[in-house]
Amino acid sequence: MSILIDNASRVLVQGITGREGGFHAGRMLASGTNVVAGVTPGHSGETVQGVPVFDSVHEAVAHIRADVALIFVPAPRARDALFEAADAGIKLIVCITEGIPVRDMAEVMAHLPRREARLIGPNCPGLITPARCSAGIMPSEIFMPGAAGVVSRSGTLTYEVVHELTQAGIGQSTAVGMGGDAVHGIGFIECLELFEADRETEGIALIGEIGGDDEERAAQFIRDHMTKPVVAYVAGHSAPPGRRMGHAGAIVEGTSGTAATKQAALEAAGIPVAASPSELARLLGEAIKRRRTT
Amino acid sequence: MDLLEHEGKRLFAEVGLPVLPSFVARTPEEARRAAEQLGPHVCVKAQAKTGGRGKAGGIRVCGTAAEVETAAADILAMTIRGHAVESVLVERAVDIARELYLAITVSREVRSPLLIFSREGGVDIEELAKRAPEALLRRPIDPLLGLLEYQVRDVVDAAAFGPDDPGGTGAGRTLASVARALWKLYHEHDATLVEVNPLVLTKGGEIVCLDSKVTVDENAFFRHPDVLPEPPEDEREAKARAAGLAFVPLDGDIGVIGNGAGLVMSTIDQIAAAGGKAADFCDIGGGARSEVAQAALEAMFAGPPVAAVLVNIFGGITRCEDVATGLVEAIKAAGVDAPVVVRLDGNAAEEGHAVIEAAALPNVTLALDPDEAVKLVVDIAGKRAAASEPAIAAQPNAEAPGGDA
């Protein structure tokens, strides 16, 4: 088992004829992922890395069953690509594109529930279930199948932690890079819920960073609902406070948002918080070992 | 990108929000001429992208053109919270009966725009929000539906204008159109914040937007070709941005380069935990090319002195070998002689180490893991600072004997 994707997942890549889309489709194929179709308007009938390309997601799913849409479409057209994937019936959408306007993402997030579609990202590295499926741009070479769940707002910190875990012999069930944009798809809580229900996952590493209150809300959720061990790391303790115009931001977010408030909220919920990514890997290894012996 | 008050008010006027007659002035002279046109009873306001202008003395009410000239001269010489005041807004003054608060901003929690209104506006709004959260009306706006009429009515009801208020209940109709126009501005201009504080009811019974705070989404500039992105104030930032790097100047002496925002942020945290202080946040992303590494180093050395540099790379898809090659070329080309600690791990790390070792640059040290790299660079920077300290301390005595008497 794993969460969100496994070896049965069939991935469709939107923007497959672009440089990034083509490159990563190739890497995903090489790591054993079922990349079943590509979509780029005006390119129907072509193939990229042996994968058939269609003009639209609707056309693609009429020919080939797909259950994950992976989006590499440039920011100005990403909103449309997201709507298209959801309207064509794809239930898991992963958006790698960065720089999408907040307005577009708010509109997408208002629409997705009507199609019962889930979104990961945007501005994220996607997700991976090692040796079974990669839907994104994570370097599959550093991953290894196993019991650790990873959910993160940062790409490179995920790699850093996963690399340490793998070297210590601790494999991963699924790693999710959820992205850090103000308006994004699934967050820590949804992932934690899935990891809690997943038989394979025995412990979870949560990697947060400054801004928003995802970590604070996750802390409360972990305290109230998680039986599996969760360990955390928060980046940005020495980041200069962001300039804030007006009062609305403070009214909406209150005192949350700094690395210190996040760490305090997590610790108050009894979650060990590491001082560095390497310590996080160590803490998770210990937590999983403890769980196995008790 | 934040807009200045007068830039925000130009957008206000475009969507039909009520603003007062005003002129922007860059010299005391211009300010006086503006006052002569507007009538002597005016307000002179510092144009700076920060709050707290009033408390800093950047807003003055004047009664004569001569007063305006003096006030403008004073305010134009000010720096408010690090922002130099380059212009003032000379605006007709009004007699205020009531101050309200109205804003729309993006809420991460509800993942949509959120309208906030209070019948008690002014500088203490944040206090009020903490003390009596129920005094603020909050309505999430479905971005696909827009501001709904019942939400507009909720705003008017919350304002609770009575027969004793100037303009009476008629002010409610104006308030309703203000709420609708503010949403139009927020939506059509891709704002992430529009705030009117205070939104005033004048003694004459008019509703007027006395201030404007507008932040527009830089990611949406492709939809607004008329908006010009502002150039960064810091020279280092400007250089780095020109090369497509994410760069934030900080005030320490250890230069930091890494790939990925999270990794760089984490590296800076660990430098701080080890007793050092970073000079910058520089994310080269997947930038393995030597031009990128060179631009990063050049940007870094364009600022205050850097005692040592830490390059922290985790190669995911990026090959460490390519980064190392770029780095070696960049160090040579930029003539960097400060100590550089390099940590490469992940994809093609061993090949990367070989490149660094083969180059045999005397100022470059390889570290095997991130913890060691941080310790090493903080040590080196500390020693260099200690070594140069007596020289700096000696200077005041040498150049200005008895200067502190």
Q: Cβ of A155 under 8 Å from any chain B Cβ?
A: yes
Residue B271: its H or E element: helix B261-273
Strands B112-118 and B96-107: antiparallel
Mean pLDDT of chain B: 89
C-alpha separations of B282 from A186, A222, B256, B297 in Å: 28, 34, 6, 9
Which residue in A has a C-alpha nearest to residue B104's C-alpha?
Answer: A248
In tens, the pLDDT along A8-36 reads 999 999 999 999 999 999 999 999 999 99
3-state secondary structure of B352: helix
Mean pLDDT calculated for residue range A39-58: 97
Q: What are the structural domain ranges in chain A?
A: 10-120, 143-293
Rounded to an integer, what distance in angstroms lies between the CA atom of residue A135 and that of residue A71? 10
Rounded to an integer, what distance in angstroms lies between the CA atom of residue B174 and that of residue B165? 14
The class of domain B1-19+96-230 in CATH terms is: alpha beta
What is the model's pLDDT at position B404?
A: 39
Q: Which residue has the tokens 């489709």?
A: A25
Rounded to an integer, what distance in angstroms lies between the CA atom of residue A158 and that of residue A220? 23
Mean pLDDT calculated for residue range B8-19: 97
Q: Is residue B111 within 8 Å of residue A185, measured between CB atoms?
A: no
In tens, the pLDDT along B163-173 reads 888 887 789 99
Radius of gyration of chain A, Cα coordinates, nearest whole angstrom: 19
Work out the angle at residue A97's Cα, subtended by the Cα atoms of residues A165 and A50, and round it to the nearest 5 degrees. Answer: 85
Instruction: List the end-to-end C-alpha distance of chain A, in Å, as a whole number.
Output: 22
A residues 227..256 contacting B (CB < 8 A): 233, 235-240, 243-254
Give B83's DSSP letter: E
Range A143-293 has CATH code 3.10.20.340: no
pLDDT band at B55 (very low <50, low <70, confident <90, very high): confident
What is the model's pLDDT at position B21?
A: 97
What is the model's pLDDT at position B401?
A: 38
Q: Which residue has the tokens 């948002």?
A: A257
CATH fit for domain A10-120, picks 3.40.50.720, 3.40.50.300, 3.30.460.10, 3.30.750.80: 3.40.50.720
Q: What CATH code is assigned to B21-93? A: 3.30.1490.20
What is the model's pLDDT at position A242?
A: 66
Rounded to an integer, what distance in angstroms lies between the CA atom of residue A138 and that of residue A155? 8
* Residue A34: other Cβ atoms inside 10 A: 17
**ipTM of predicted assembly, 2 dp:** 0.91
Residue B142 and residue A110: Cβ atoms within 8 Å? yes
Better pLDDT: A17 or A243:
A17
Which residue in A has a C-alpha nearest to residue B117's C-alpha?
Answer: A248
Q: What are the structural domain ranges in chain B?
A: 1-19+96-230, 21-93, 235-387
**pLDDT of A244 over the 70 cut:** no
Q: Is the peptide bond before A122 cis (omega within 30 degrees of 0)?
A: yes
What is the model's pLDDT at position B395?
A: 42
pTM equals 0.91
CATH fit for domain B235-387, picks 3.30.70.260, 3.20.20.150, 2.40.160.10, 3.40.50.261: 3.40.50.261
CA distance B50 to chain A (A): 6
Mean pLDDT calculated for residue range B103-123: 93
Pick the catalytic residue from A43, A58, A184, A247. Answer: A247
CA distance A268 to chain B (A): 21
Mean pLDDT calculated for residue range B260-277: 94
**pLDDT of B398 over the 70 cut:** no
What is the model's pLDDT at position B234?
A: 76
A residues 264..283 contacting B (CB < 8 A): 275-278
Retrieve residue B260's tokens.
């990925």
DSSP for chain A, written as a single string: --SS--TT-EEEEETTTSHHHHHHHHHHHHTT-EEEEEE-TT-TT-EETTEEEESSHHHHHHHS---EEEE---HHHHHHHHHHHHHTT-SEEEE------HHHHHHHHHHGGGGT-EEE-SSS-EEEETTTEEEES--GGG--EEEEEEEES-HHHHHHHHHHHHHTT--EEEEEE----SS-SS-HHHHHHHHHH-SS--EEEEEEESSSSHHHHHHHHHHHH--S-EEEEEE-TTPPPPP--SSHHHHHHTTTTSHHHHHHHHHHTT--B-SSHHHHHHHHHHHHHHHHH-
- Give every CB contact of residue B130 below 8 A, 6+ residues apart in sequence: A254
What is the model's pLDDT at position B263?
A: 92
Residue B68: its H or E element: helix B65-76
Pick the catalytic residue from B195, B237, B298, B321. Answer: B195
What is the model's pLDDT at position B242?
A: 80
In tens, the pLDDT along B137-165 reads 999 999 999 999 999 999 999 999 988 88
Residue A243 and residue B50: Cβ atoms within 8 Å? yes
Identical fold for domains A10-120 and A143-293, yes or no, is yes
Retrieve residue B168's tokens.
């009476």
| Amino acid occupying residue B404 | D
In tens, the pLDDT along B64-99 reads 999 999 999 999 999 998 889 999 999 999 999 999
Mean pLDDT calculated for residue range B127-138: 91
pLDDT band at B47 (very low <50, low <70, confident <90, very high): very high
Rounded to an integer, what distance in angstroms lies between the CA atom of residue B157 and that of residue B323? 61
Residue B258 and residue A237: Cβ atoms within 8 Å? no
Mean pLDDT calculated for residue range B357-384: 94
| Amino acid occupying residue A291 | R
What is the model's pLDDT at position A255?
A: 67
DSSP for A237-265, written as a single string: TTPPPPP--SSHHHHHHTTTTSHHHHHHH
Q: In chain A, what's the furthest Cα-to-Cα distance?
A: 59
Q: Which residue has the tokens 């201030």?
A: B211
Better pLDDT: A239 or A147:
A147
Share above pLDDT 90 across residues of chain B, in percent, rounded to a whole number: 63
Give B49's DSSP letter: S
